[in-house]
C-alpha cells in the first residue's frame, strides 16, 4: 500500500493542496495526472498584466479509479490567484468532462451489459473565488462552457462536486457547483455566489460583518448548505471522509445520481425560487431563522454537535412544503 496515500487519508481535507486532493481521492496508486506542470500549459493573459503564470494554471486534472468506478478528477488550487478561473484553467475543466464522456462511450461500445461495463465518474474539487479578474471575459466564458459540458453529461456521466477547501466556492463557480449532480461538503467548506468581503464592501459592516466568522459560516458554510439542500451530503473535514462518500455516490445507478440535481430544468428553477422567496421573508433575518422555519428547535445544539449528530438530527428544507420534515 502507498504510504503517502495512507498518510493523506487522515489529514484534514482543508489543509491539502489540489494535487494531494486529486491523488488521495482516488484508489491507491491509481491516479495519473494529465497536462501536468512539465508541459508548461500557462495562461497567455497573465504575463502582459505583470502576473507570473503557473505551469498547471491552478487546476490539476487526471485519471484514476474511485471505488470501483473509473474517474476523471479535477482539483482547483486556491493558492494560485485564489483558485480563479481563466481561459486555460476553464479549458482543462471542460476537456476533462469531455474525456469522461468519451471514456463512457468506449465502455458502452465494448459491452452491451450496463452491469459489466461500469460507468465513468467526474469528480471536481472546488476551491475558488470564481472568475479570474485578470482575464474576466475568458473566465466568464469558461464558466458557461463548464456548465454546458455538465448538461451534455447529464444522464450519461455523473458529476460529483466536493467543497471543503480554505477558500470555498464563490463567484460564478458557486453557480457551477450548484449545477453538479451531487455535491458533498464538509462543515468547514463554504459555498455562495458573493464572497463575505464583497458583501460587506457593498452593503456595509452593519448588514454583514465579514470578520464575524460565526456569521460567515452559518450563512455560507456546509451545515447551512446541507439544511437548504444545496449540498446533498455533509462529511468530516478529512480526506478519508470525502473519498469514502465519493466512492459511495459513484457506485449508484445513474438515475439515482441524476435525481439529486437541483438545477437544470425549469421545474428545478421554480423550486429554487420558492426557497429564495422564503429567505426574503421579513421573518428571516438570519440563516438560523431559516433553520427554525424548517422545524429545527435546538439550534445551538445543532451548531455545536459533531457532523454525524448534526446530519442525523438536522431537519432540512422539505422542497416546496415548508413546515414539513423529510
CATH fold, domain 3-191+230-261, is 2-enoyl-CoA Hydratase; Chain A, domain 1 (3.90.226)
Q: What is the pLDDT of residues 33-62, one digit of tens each?
A: 998 888 888 888 888 888 888 899 999 999
The answer, yes or no, to whether residue 320 has pLDDT greater than 60, is: no
The answer, yes or no, to whether residue 325 has pLDDT greater than 70, is: no
**Residues shown for the chain:** 326
The answer, yes or no, to whether residue 323 has pLDDT greater than 50, is: no
The answer, yes or no, to whether residue 115 has pLDDT greater than 60, is: no
* Rounded-to-integer distance, Cα 251 and Cα 247, Å: 6
The answer, yes or no, to whether residue 267 has pLDDT greater than 50, is: yes
> Taking the domains of the chain in order of start, what are their residue ranges?
3-191+230-261
Q: What is the pLDDT of residues 277-312, one digit of tens each?
A: 888 877 888 899 999 999 999 999 999 999 999 999
Could you tell me if 221 and 202 are in contact, meaning their C-beta atoms sit under 8 angstroms apart?
no
* Rounded-to-integer distance, Cα 105 and Cα 99, Å: 10
Q: What is the pLDDT of residues 83-92, one digit of tens each?
A: 999 999 999 9
Q: What is the pLDDT of residues 184-194, one digit of tens each?
A: 999 999 999 88
Q: What is the pLDDT of residues 1-12, one digit of tens each?
A: 588 999 999 999
Those residues whose C-beta lies under 8 Å from the C-beta of residue 150, and which sit 6 or more positions away, are 97, 159, 176, 179, 180, 264
Higher confidence at residue 276 or residue 316? 316
Burial class (CB in 10 A: 0-12, 13-18, 19+), 152: middle
Mean pLDDT of 153-182: 94
> Rounded to whole angstroms, what are the CA distances from 285 to 212, 221, 264, 293, 318?
16, 17, 29, 12, 20
Amino acid at each position: 500500500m502507498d504510504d503517502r496515500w495512507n498518510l493523506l487519508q487522515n489529514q484534514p481535507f482543508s489543509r491539502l493542496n489540489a494535487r494531494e486532493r486529486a491523488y488521495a481521492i482516488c484508489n491507491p496508486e491509481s491516479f495519473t495526472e494529465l497536462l501536468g506542470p512539465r508541459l508548461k500549459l500557462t495562461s497567455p493573459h497573465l504575463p502582459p498584466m505583470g502576473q507570473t503564470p503557473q505551469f498547471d494554471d491552478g487546476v490539476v486534472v487526471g485519471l484514476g479509479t474511485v471505488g470501483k468506478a473509473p474517474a476523471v478528477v479535477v482539483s482547483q488550487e486556491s493558492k494560485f490567484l485564489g483558485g480563479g478561473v481563466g481561459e486555460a484553467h476553464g479549458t482543462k475543466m471542460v476537456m476533462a468532462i469531455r474525456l469522461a464522456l468519451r471514456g463512457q462511450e468506449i465502455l458502452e461500445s465494448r459491452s452491451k451489459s450496463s452491469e459489466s461495463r461500469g460507468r465513468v465518474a467526474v469528480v471536481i474539487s472546488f476551491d475558488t473565488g470564481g472568475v479570474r479578474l485578470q482575464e474576466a471575459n475568458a473566465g466568464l466564458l469558461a464558466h458557461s462552457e463548464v456548465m454546458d459540458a455538465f448538461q451534455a453529461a447529464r444522464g450519461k456521466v455523473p458529476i460529483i462536486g466536493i467543497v471543503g477547501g480554505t477558500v470555498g466556492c464563490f463567484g460564478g463557480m458557486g453557480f457551477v457547483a450548484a449545477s453538479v449532480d451531487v455535491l458533498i461538503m464538509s462543515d468547514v467548506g463554504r459555498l455562495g455566489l458573493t464572497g463575505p468581503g464583497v458583501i460587506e464592501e457593498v452593503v456595509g459592516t452593519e448588514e454583514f460583518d465579514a470578520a464575524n466568522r460565526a456569521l460567515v459560516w452559518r450563512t455560507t458554510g456546509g451545515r447551512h448548505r446541507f439544511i437548504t439542500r444545496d449540498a446533498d451530503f455533509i462529511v468530516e473535514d478529512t480526506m478519508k471522509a470525502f473519498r469514502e462518500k465519493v466512492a459511495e455516490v459513484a457506485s449508484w445507478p445513474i438515475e439515482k445520481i441524476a435525481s439529486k440535481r437541483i438545477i437544470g430544468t425549469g421545474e428545478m428553477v421554480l423550486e429554487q425560487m420558492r426557497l429564495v422567496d422564503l429567505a426574503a421573508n421579513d421573518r428571516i433575518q438570519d440563516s438560523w431563522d431559516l433553520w427554525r422555519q424548517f422545524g429545527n428547535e435546538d439550534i445551538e445544539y445543532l451548531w455545536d454537535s459533531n457532523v454525524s449528530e448534526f446530519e442525523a438530527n438536522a431537519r432540512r428544507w422539505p422542497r416546496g412544503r415548508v413546515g414539513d420534515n423529510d
